[in-house]
Structure formats: C-alpha cells, structure tokens
C-alpha cells in the first residue's frame, strides 16, 4: 500500500529542481544588449568588419562578379544606437 | 501536487535569473555623486537641484545637447540648479578632445570606471536625469531631441523650483 505514495512523490521531487535547471539554462542563452554606455567600443577600429582594404576590395570584386552588383556594403554612423 | 506556491517559486526563479536592465524612473533615489569616484571637480551639490547629463564623445546627439545644457545652466544656475555632464568615455583623451574648444560653463566629469552609470543605467546616450535637492529622481529624458528635450527639462525644473 505504501508503494503508490512513493511513486507519486518522485515527480514532485524532480520537477522543481528540473524547472530550476531549465530556468538557469535558459537564462544562460540570453544575450543582454550592449549597454548604451559601452557602445563606444563598437566604434573602435578593431570592431569594423571591413578594416582590411585589400580584403574588402576582393570581396567587392567577388560580389560584383557573382551578383552583378556593387556597393551597399558599408553602414553610416557609429552604431552607438543613440536615440 | 503542483500548487500555486510552486508556480510562484518557479516564476521568481526565472525573474531572478534574467538580467535586469531597469532604467531610472521618477521616484528612484539617485546615487550619491560624492562617493562615485568621478574624475573632475564636483561642484557644490548640497541642497541643489541637479541636471545630470550622461554623454559620450562618440555620441552625435550629445554634441547637439551641449548648447542646450549651457542655456539651461545660464537660466537656472542662480535658482539653485547645478548642471553636471557626466562622460562615460573610457579614454581620457576622447573626453578631453570633445571638451576642447567647447568650454562648457557647467561642470563636466568623467565616470571612468562606469561605477555611476552602471547604477543609474541610462537607456540611451545621452540621458538627462533631473534630481531634486533630496536626491530623488524627478524626471528622465532619454535621448536629445532638440527643443523638445530642452523645453521638457525646463518644464521639469519649473515644477520643482519655487517661482522666481
């Protein structure tokens, strides 16, 4: 007669830790946005995706050859997200 | 049995494990500026209404906000208002280069360690926070939108200050 009670307790004992684990894992997957006061780092030279002129020219050439289009690669502004 | 109590505990756990990104809002206490290790000379702030502007040299709207802050300083300084422009620039040379030639009439400080800005958590650059003489945030202006922001700050100050 005691067996069913023991079995019914297990889901309760497992569920809460499992939920806690899932919550922790899910929060680990979040990527908080770069805070506004840290966005100066995005304007630095090392953060520019096209800081190598030769590589950029090669990519432009490949793009033009394949897609018959050119330009439109750059983005104006500092990316600070102001306003 | 799964109860409402368990649900509440689970929701609390989710909330606690989610990064908090709360911006300042009216009614919050503003951190004490005297304990923030700000670079620069902090003027007398005791019993004064503060207009604290968070800015950065890399932020284009911040450049436009400086003339407006200068006008507000000239207009309200004698009525007990102190304008403080707090830079979040990591590099001192960026901060100094920005100020060179501008010579603002109000105090400029640098939060080099980001200690203050991490507590205040302004939502955008620039953000202007109006703090009353008791240290309570009375208004927050996110971004600089020209006359709209300037008039908003002026109106917020007029609400706090006694009539001239």
Section B92-115 average pLDDT = 94
By CA distance, what is B86's nearest residue in A?
A37
Mean pLDDT along residues B60-78 = 95
Q: Which of B24, B113, B38, B105 is nearest to B72 (CA)?
A: B105
| pLDDT tens sequence across B14-35 | 555 544 557 889 999 999 999 9
Percent of chain B with pLDDT over 90: 81
Contacts (Cβ under 8 Å, ≥6 apart) of A69: A63
Nearest Cα of chain B lies from the Cα of A48 at a distance, in angstroms, of 15
Q: What does pTM read for this prediction? A: 0.73
Cα B114 to Cα B106: distance, rounded to the nearest angstrom: 21
- Predicted local distance difference test score (pLDDT) of residue A8: 63
| Separation between Cα atoms, residue B53 and residue B149, nearest integer Å | 12
- pLDDT of A75 > 80? The answer is no
Task: Choose, out of A5, A19, A37, the residue to mutate when testing the contact with B (most B CBs < 10 Å).
Answer: A37
Whether residue B143 and residue A30 make contact (CB cut-off 8 A), yes or no, is no
Which among B123, B144, B145 has CB closest to A36? B123
Considering CB atoms only, which of A23, A35, A81 is closest to B13?
A23
Tracing tokens 């922790």 back to the chain, one arrives at A24
Interface contact flag, A82 B62, Cβ < 8 Å: yes
How much of chain A, in percent, has pLDDT values that exceed 90? 2
* Among candidates B6, B60, B89 on the partner chain, residue whose Cβ is nearest the Cβ of A82: B60
- For the cut 70, the answer to whether the pLDDT of residue B134 exceeds it is yes
ipTM score: 0.77
pLDDT digits (tens, 9 = 90+) for A13-52: 788 888 889 988 888 777 778 899 998 888 788 887 778 8
Residue closest to B26 by CA, chosen among B141, B149, B155, B162: B141
Q: Is the pLDDT of residue B144 over 70?
A: yes
Mean pLDDT of chain A: 76
């Amino acid at each position: 007669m005691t067996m069913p009670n023991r079995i019914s307790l297990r889901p309760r004992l497992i569920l809460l830790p499992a939920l806690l684990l899932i919550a922790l894992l899910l929060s680990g997957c979040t990527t908080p946005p770069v805070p506004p006061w840290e966005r100066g780092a995005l304007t630095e030279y090392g953060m520019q995706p096209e800081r190598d002129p030769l590589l950029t020219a090669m990519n432009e050439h490949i793009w033009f050859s394949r897609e018959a289009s050119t330009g439109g690669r750059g983005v104006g502004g500092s990316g600070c997200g102001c306003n | 049995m799964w109860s409402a109590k368990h649900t509440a505990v689970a929701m609390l756990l989710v909330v606690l494990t989610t990064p908090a990104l709360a911006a300042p809002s009216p009614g919050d206490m503003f951190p004490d500026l005297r304990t923030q290790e700000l670079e620069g000379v902090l003027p007398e702030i005791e019993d004064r209404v503060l207009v604290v502007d968070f800015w950065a040299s890399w932020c284009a709207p911040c450049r436009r906000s400086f003339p407006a802050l200068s006008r507000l300083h000239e207009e309200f300084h004698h009525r007990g208002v102190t304008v403080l422009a707090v830079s979040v620039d990591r590099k001192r040379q960026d901060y100094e280069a920005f100020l060179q030639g501008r010579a603002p009439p109000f105090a400029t400080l640098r939060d080099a360690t980001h200690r203050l800005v991490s507590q205040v958590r302004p939502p955008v650059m620039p953000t202007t926070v109006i703090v009353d003489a008791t240290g309570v945030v009375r208004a927050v202006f996110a971004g600089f939108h020209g006359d709209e922001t300037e008039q908003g700050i002026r109106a917020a100050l007029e609400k706090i200050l006694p009539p001239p």
